[in-house]
Amino acid sequence: MMRGERRAVIRGTGSSLPDKVLTNLELERMVDTSDDWITSRTGIRERRVARENEYMSQFATRAAERALESAGLPASGVDLIVCATVTPDMPIPATACIVQNNLGAAGAAAFDLAAGCSGFIYALAVAERFVAAGDYRAVLVIGAELLSKFTDYRDRTTCVLFGDGAGAVLLTPGEAPYGVLATEMHADGSMADFIYVPAGGTREPASELTVAERRHYIRMRGNETFKMAVRSMEESSRAVLQKAGLTPADVNLFLPHQANRRIIDAVGTRLGLRENQVYINIERVGNTSAASIPVALDEAVRQGLVRRGDNLLFAAFGTGLTWGAAVCKWGS
Ligand code: ACO
């Protein structure tokens, strides 16, 4: 359903990327691949990766601090933190609680949400309902991921794709016509083995054997995922626009999950979007999973590409499989 008069508006954005760059040329020295293959098949030239002593909550905290700063709200004013991630600091507790403490947002409720690369869409959909319902007045939605820590740098089919980073938005109540207009969330667990980490959970707890067999790293069926990604992102984009009473022609900026340049181009073409309607940063950051859309949004906002009244379309797909979309009218 379309939201009523009280809506959740995006009041601030922030992001944080590691400073360490991993280029295609460096990957050429690590696995049997080439800059030419990676660039032509994925559009990625380099990605940012965390150092050994860096962990997810540090980037999530910095992204959240920047979102609060751009909104002009002190951390003490935050009353809910939703952190979309599948790469937490540790299995227990939720990293959102660690971020709450880092920020000094005492009293804020905090939880993690796991939907892979669709995590930001899912978290935005959940958070905007709390704001639209009047339950919370300042909600931080964070997408943060250090996939490099779960990447097997001996597996050329995955290690060229992933990058690390965090993005955040602050949602507060606002009035129509601005704010989150509609959201879509979908999942199909019959494809759970398309992208997964076999060990480290209750099914295969960590052991010397699981470590020796490198079963704590991501495994992926890339080609099947690719086809599903294009179809699901197009369908959920159309559905969410229809809910909001819009068409692709009304979209000022499409900020898709940055998984593969060819996926982005295919979805853009199927939706009939022009090149200047689509924001792409994959060549610099790679696939940052749940961080992908909020990082892209923060960049676009800071580059002055987003204006009051613009219709922004977000769409993503990821492990689960999960997929979804959201549409938002910028401004408050
Ligand atoms: N360098 C050189 N060759 C490679 C590499 C590499 N890095 N990776 C794969 N190849 C080879 C394969 O072995 C294969 O060789 P073969 O024909 O001799 O068997 C050939 O290239 C083609 O492989 P495909 O898998 O068919 O290549 P494709 O064009 O599908 O591209 C890719 C692979 C880039 C992974 C693509 O399928 C893709 O982007 N899929 C989507 C992945 C994704 O977005 N996952 C999502 C999210 S992650 C999350 O949710 C946490």
Q: 181-329: same fold as 6-175?
A: yes
pLDDT tens per residue, range 19-76: 999 999 999 999 999 999 999 999 999 999 999 999 999 999 999 999 999 999 999 9
The structural domains of the chain, with segments of one domain joined by +, span 6-175, 181-329
Q: Which residues line ligand 1 (CB under 6 A)?
A: 33, 37-38, 41-42, 86, 116-117, 156-157, 160, 195, 220, 222-223, 225-226, 229, 259-260, 287, 289, 318-319
Q: Quote the mean pLDDT of the chain.
A: 97
In degrees to the nearest 10, what's the CA dihedral of 307, 66, 178, 300? 30
Q: Alpha-carbon distance 120 to 106, whole Å?
A: 23
* Catalytic annotation, pick one of 257, 260, 311, 328: 257
Nearest CA to ligand 1 atom 15: 157
State the amino acid at position 157 in one-letter form. T
Asked if 159 is an active-site residue, the reply is no
Above 50 in pLDDT, residue 290?
yes
pLDDT-derived band at 5, boundaries 50, 70, 90: confident
pLDDT tens per residue, range 257-278: 999 999 999 999 999 999 999 9
Q: pTM of the entire structure?
A: 0.96
Asked if 257 is an active-site residue, the reply is yes
- What's the fold here for domain 6-175? Peroxisomal Thiolase; Chain A, domain 1 (3.40.47)
Beta bridge partners of 83: 112, 142
Above 90 in pLDDT, residue 2?
no
pLDDT-derived band at 332, boundaries 50, 70, 90: confident
Asked if 97 is an active-site residue, the reply is no
Q: Which of 1.10.10.60, 3.40.640.10, 3.40.190.10, 3.40.47.10 would CATH assign to domain 181-329?
A: 3.40.47.10
